[in-house]
Amino acid sequence: MLRPLLAFLVLVLMGVSAPAQAQELQTILQSHADEVAKPGRKSVGVVIDNLIASGLPQVPVFLQNWQGRSVVRDEATGLFYYDKPLRDVDSGAEVDLGDVKLKAVKPNGGVRKVIGAALVQFQLSDPDISRRIDALDAIARSPDADQIGPLEASIDGESDAGVLARKEVLVGMLKARYGATTEDRVAAIEQLDGSLSLDARATLNQILTTKAGVAETVPESVNVARILTPGDDIAKVEAYGRLVDEGFAPARISNAAIKEALAANIEGGSVAGIPVHDLNTLERRLEAYTRLADQGVVPPAVTDERAAEILAQYTFYEAYTETDAAVTTAAETVLASIETSVAVNQTADLALDALSLASIYFLAAIGLAITFGVMGVINMAHGEFIMMGAYTGYVMQQIIPDYTLSLIVALPVAFAVTFGAGVAMERLVIRWLYHRPLETLLATFGISIALQQLAKNIFGTQARPLTSPGWLDGAWAINEVVSISYIRIAIFVLALIFLGLILFILNKTRLGLEVRAVTQNPGMAASMGINPDRINMLTFGLGSGIAGIAGVAIGLYAKVTSEMGADYIVQSFMTVVVGGVGNVWGTLAGASLIGVLQKGIEFLNPSNTLAAQTYMILFIILFIQFRPKGIVALKGRAAEA
């Protein structure tokens, strides 16, 4: 009795103002000592009520320990402690009682459940919001009828709007499944309409769980979901199998079993009078088996006709495990309505995906479009410039440990590196081949394989990570269905910035004017005093530089390997060709079309991205048939080629 006394003294000395708090948990426990030590399912309620009524902050901790079977009682004093290590129930401080006999308090399963329900109530009103969310998660994970009460009770005191909404939804879901009356449940189900959450759909699906059944006539008591017609809704073999499982029909003998039976009954080179070498057709085998069956050696086989007859006698159905038809009907209606809005939102999600894919293609292709459009040069090494940009990003991260800073540094450095590489390539190789675009294609391809192998030699074959800074982690979730990761948003913004930048350079600057002049008529431009050599060099550098920046962006969400460029090069060409050469808007249109198309095909055939790419390429080949000059075609004499 020393501790409580001391504690009391401390409290008095501190001049505690609120007398209610002077009450101690141990005191309450002592007043119900027997019930606490040997709780029974019925008696425990009073104890818990009293504990909760005390409003002591230590109560939830105690309940937890109680439920967790870590409360012990000093047999001599009758005081309760927490075990391992031995602690005081009030202060939580470790105590050393010396050599005393302790008896563990072991509430049984039923009691612990009651304690658990009481605990949920505490957690649901816990001042720490994360604890409240944890509690809600726990309920959503293993929903139970008992949780309705505490959950409803906690709604009133809820201060956070988000948590409040979630609680209300959760109550609805619980009521839908465990509500007392049909009306309650139907009302709760109808409340769920409009919710996009997976939990809501899971709840409804739970209610709508079906079980396969078969009977000669469907019993009235069964809440039938649908009747299955053998051959249409269910394979005949499977239907018959069910009859066999239910004991309604004899098992059929498989071809393999027939073969085995025949093999077991070979007598002197023949089976039931049929020579073994004759048994290489199913008909002859069946004939032999029938003869064996007639002799009574083997059980008779069920013929196809007989099987069909039996099948016709029975009705196959799926029945709801939920017997209340009103509930299932309501659930079906609501589920259908939810699924419609889920589909709408999925489309929106798909559109966002397509948009982000389109911005990646745009970034990857715009550099190519510029060089192709202005110079009529196909740069097969464009993909390798993307790779160089990504590796630059990786190297920057090795030098600068701060991801945000390294990213900010990497973008201009990647631009500079690939700009330099592009200018070098233009000066050393491409300008000698302006008359022969096919040879440019091949020469740049030579550079592409060399660069790829060089990267492999320097960085190795395994993928290098380009880690995005923390603030780009995660996703922006608009609702439960529609969400988009921040990286993709960042890439979208980057694509927008580049679209604006390139439009600005081409339309508002002297360089742009000269570039456009060279694009439209190189000879005329030259006679106007524009140096096409310089323009070509700068254009090529610009196109390559953008590839480098695209590389950093792509590296953030895909792996950086020496082969990553090859993954984008064909798509980039497609983007340029589909969009129409020599036009920024064309590239944008091409990228959008290809992005939307690829996502669309992937959605229709989600298991098979390879097939999606195949179909997309086929579509593009056909598209070129109808618009050989791309979506945004140059018109007039200039475009006639």
Show contacts with other proteins in window 486-545 (CB under 8 A). 520-524, 526-527, 532
- The interface with other proteins within residues 557-576 (CB under 8 A) comprises 566, 570, 573-574
Rounded CA-CA distance 452/446 in Å is 10
CB 208 to other proteins: min, Å = 32
Q: Which of 349, 289, 291, 303 is nearest to 600 (CA)?
A: 349
Q: Which is nearer to other proteins, 393 or 522 (CB)?
A: 522
| Burial class, 541, CB count within 10 angstroms (exposed 0-12 / middle 13-18 / buried 19+) | buried
Q: Which is nearer to other proteins, 135 or 577 (CB)?
A: 577
Rounded CA-CA distance 97/100 in Å is 6
Q: Which of 2, 18, 161, 641 binds other proteins (CB under 8 A)?
A: 641
Q: Which of 286, 293, 297 is nearest to 259 (CA)?
A: 286
Question: What is the contact mask toward other proteins in residues 250 to 289, using x (rule: CB under 8 A)?
Answer: ---------x--xx--x---------xx-xxxx--x----
19 touches other proteins (CB under 8 A): no
Q: Which residue has the tokens 């790779």?
A: 387
- The interface with other proteins within residues 133-192 (CB under 8 A) comprises none
- The interface with other proteins within residues 601-640 (CB under 8 A) comprises 608, 610-611, 613-614, 617-618, 620-622, 624-626, 628, 635-640
- The interface with other proteins within residues 187-226 (CB under 8 A) comprises none
Q: Which is nearer to other proteins, 117 or 424 (CB)?
A: 424
Cα four-point dihedral sign 488, 490, 496, 498: negative
Q: Which of 194, 446, 474, 500 binds other proteins (CB under 8 A)?
A: 446
Q: Which of 51, 388, 390, 577 binds other proteins (CB under 8 A)?
A: 577
Rounded CA-CA distance 362/186 in Å is 50
Q: Which of 76, 235, 450, 604 binds other proteins (CB under 8 A)?
A: 450
How many residues in the shown chain lie near other proteins by CB under 8 A? Answer: 74
The two structure tokens encoding residue 399: 């030098």
Q: Which of 549, 581, 631, 632 binds other proteins (CB under 8 A)?
A: 581
CB 638 to other proteins: min, Å = 5
Binding span for other proteins by CB under 8 A among 223-231, 403-411, 454-462, 466-474: 454-462
Q: Which of 425, 413, 412 is nearest to 382 (CA)?
A: 425
Name the β-bridge partners of 316: 214, 228
Rounded CA-CA distance 463/455 in Å is 11
Rounded CA-CA distance 177/322 in Å is 10
- The interface with other proteins within residues 415-434 (CB under 8 A) comprises 429, 432-434
Rounded CA-CA distance 551/568 in Å is 10
Give how far the C-alpha of residue 118 lies from the chain's centroid of Cα atoms, to the nearest Å.
Answer: 34
Between the two ends of the chain, the Cα-to-Cα distance in Å is 104
CB 154 to other proteins: min, Å = 51
CB 307 to other proteins: min, Å = 20
- The interface with other proteins within residues 338-377 (CB under 8 A) comprises 372, 376
For the beta carbon of residue 75, count every other beta carbon within 10 angstroms: 12
